[in-house]
A and B are shown apart, each in its own frame.
Chain A
Amino acid sequence: MNLHELTIHEAHDLLKKKEISARELALDVMRRIAAVEPSIDAYITVTKELALTQADQADQQIKNGDAGMLTGIPLAIKDLICTRGVRTTCASRMLENFVPPYNATVMEKLNQAGAVMTGKVNMDEFAMGSSTENSGIKITKNPWNPDRVPGGSSGGSAAAVAADMCLGSLGSDTGGSIRQPAAHCGVVGFKPTYGRVSRFGLVAFASSLDQIGPLTKDVQDAAILLTAISGYDPKDSTSINRPVPDYFNGLSNNIKGLRIGIPKEYHTTDGVSPDVTAAIQNAMSVYKDAGASLVDISLPHAPYAVAVYYLIAPAEASSNLSRYDGVKYGLRDQKAISLIDMYRETRSGGFGPEVKRRILLGTYALSAGYYDAYYKKASQVRTLIKGDFVKAFEICDVILAPVTPTPAFKIGENADDPLTMYLSDIFTLSANLAGIPGLSVPCGFSGDGLPIGLQLLGNYFDEQTLLNTAYAFEQATEFHTRRPEIKI
């Protein structure tokens, strides 16, 4: 038995029955990482020693009879979630040597739950990108085809889960950064309602859009991880004080009578590949067979999501990233003799081209004379996009859509054309702008063997219905059980 191939819930069952130990599991995952990392390049930092220490503690916990669902489970963490004593780079030269003095709240929760950290995984620099090609550290490959991108920005997380280099992962989603790589790598990715999970210790990109969420091998695992990381945190004043259900025990595949909204705008979007259309059509018929009803809905402002997002997110980023000035932590240019030159040289040397592009764009949208025309206008249209969803959820329980217009593109294919890259985010951005939860679940494969994701969007704080809808799909199909063959 290859332990690294297990899902979280399978490993938990074996650990609890003491058929395997957490140490054996951690060692097996470490061997797997060593074997496939040269082909995949998912990890920025592997924390083998820490993992084994945590695994031994987990084994003790299991022996004492107080093992939780995540006790002894090896997880990979996106490298923008602060981990005390473990380098957190955001895949940027700016933070290449940054060692956080504190843990993100989600890490405190995982540690409390007895989870084992395998390491920190790759991403687009500061989470800005849809392909992980913007990493300042390395280029991650799609485990299904090394010529293809894994998606992004949580590309390292998605690739590590798909290649069995961890049992699950935490990523972050600002405009699709969990759902899109999950779709491209054939795994499950979940973006919670804004405020469901604490952002304390998540390095900020666009604060009104960022959420942490799980990437996993199946929906049950997503429910386990989501339960563990959710909840109010006094350290994040935007987290919401609402009870957290046990999403795993609440799972049900009975969706009889469920109303699934089909937005006409998403199903008439240009540039959607025939493979994606066919997989989405198939998903709709799977749901009909399972007893759900399909309801036609309209999200009239959905086509404006790309324009709104690519003004608001860069505006927030330009403000958030002003903190990288070479004074308190991170890179500093040592040659500059004046303070202002030190700021400029540090920032110019530390940020990669996409980060600079977004800082410039955001600074422009916020600058005198353009604020009303760009930032304010976009924020008003954001209200309309949000209103579309509120109205839609009066007549449906979940919304069904593609995650991406096409399967994973080739590495380098969109490198010189940022706008084309941005346009590929059309289906995922609205959920962040509105703050609603969304997920991606494997729903098919293209003719050349690349995975395709189904996106489900839910009402505010109705994560359970979303998980159940995806769980019902998973129970009726086998796409999530397929694994890539990786040449070692």
Chain B
Amino acid sequence: MKLTRTDVLHVAALARLNLTESSIDPFAEQLGAVLEYAAALNRLDTTGVPPTFHAVDISNVFREDVPGNHLDAMDTFANAPESEDGHFIVPKVIE
């Protein structure tokens, strides 16, 4: 499985990453090598095998909706790069 520069740039755009020019070819080569290795999985017939997304079987866990002591909302702003009056500030979205 060879990855092209276009593939890498497409995936980087999906992942919201800018790549430096010099890193694109090495990433294409390294990711291609892993995908080529992973192609070994195609040797296995998995028709009808259910996928495992969780190692230990558990179904939905529900709890009663009761008020409790939770993190103070204002404490969550202590790490914010920029905030004001209980709001996170981000660059302007709408012109």
- Residues of A at under 8 Å CB distance from B? 97-99, 101-102, 193-195, 208-209, 234, 237-238, 240, 301, 304, 306-308, 310-311, 318, 322, 325-332, 334, 336-345, 347-348, 351, 353, 356-357, 359-361, 363-364, 367, 374, 376-384, 386, 418-419, 422, 432-436, 460
Contact = CB atoms under 8 A, between A and B. Distances in A.
A237 B61 contact: yes
Contacts of B53: 208, 379
B34 A381 contact: no
Contacts, number: 169
Interface centre among B3, B18, B38 (most CB of A within 10 A): B38
29 contacts: A193-B56, A194-B56, A234-B63, A328-B79, A328-B80, A329-B80, A332-B81, A338-B91, A340-B16, A356-B27, A357-B27, A359-B17, A360-B8, A360-B15, A360-B17, A363-B15, A364-B7, A364-B35, A374-B35, A377-B46, A378-B38, A379-B51, A379-B53, A380-B50, A384-B49, A386-B55, A419-B34, A422-B34, A435-B55
Nearest to B94: A339
Contacts of A460: 56
Contact of A383 (B7, B40, B49): B49
Given A310-B38, A357-B27, A208 B55 contact: yes
Contacts of B61: 237
B38 A99 contact: no
Nearest to A370: B35
Given A360-B8, A383-B49, A353 B23 contact: yes
B27 A101 contact: no
Contacts of A376: 51
A98 B79 contact: yes
Contact of B12 (A310, A360, A384): A360
Given A377-B42, A419-B37, A332 B82 contact: yes
A302 B80 CA distance: 44
A360 B31 contact: yes
A380 B27 contact: no
- 7 closest A-B pairs by CB: A435-B55, A379-B51, A332-B81, A329-B79, A380-B46, A237-B61, A101-B75
Please report whether the interface of chain B is mostly helix, strand, loop or mixed according to DSSP. Answer: loop
A330 to B, nearest CB: 7
A374 B7 CA distance: 15
Contact of A326 (B38, B51, B56, B81): B81
B79 A99 contact: yes
Nearest to B38: A307
A429 to B, nearest CB: 12
Given A98-B79, A328-B80, A311 B38 contact: yes
Contact of A381 (B19, B44, B54, B76): B44
A386 B35 CA distance: 22
Interface in B53-81: 53-56, 58, 61, 63, 71-72, 75-76, 78-81
Nearest to B75: A101
B16 A347 contact: yes
Contact of B56 (A325, A418, A435): A435
Contacts of B11: 360, 363-364, 367
A322 B15 CA distance: 8
Given A193-B56, A377-B42, A383 B90 contact: no
Contacts of B44: 301, 304, 381, 384
A380 B63 CA distance: 31
Contacts of B88: 327-328
Given A307-B41, A379-B51, A325 B63 contact: no
Given A307-B41, A327-B90, A363 B55 contact: no
Contacts of A209: 55
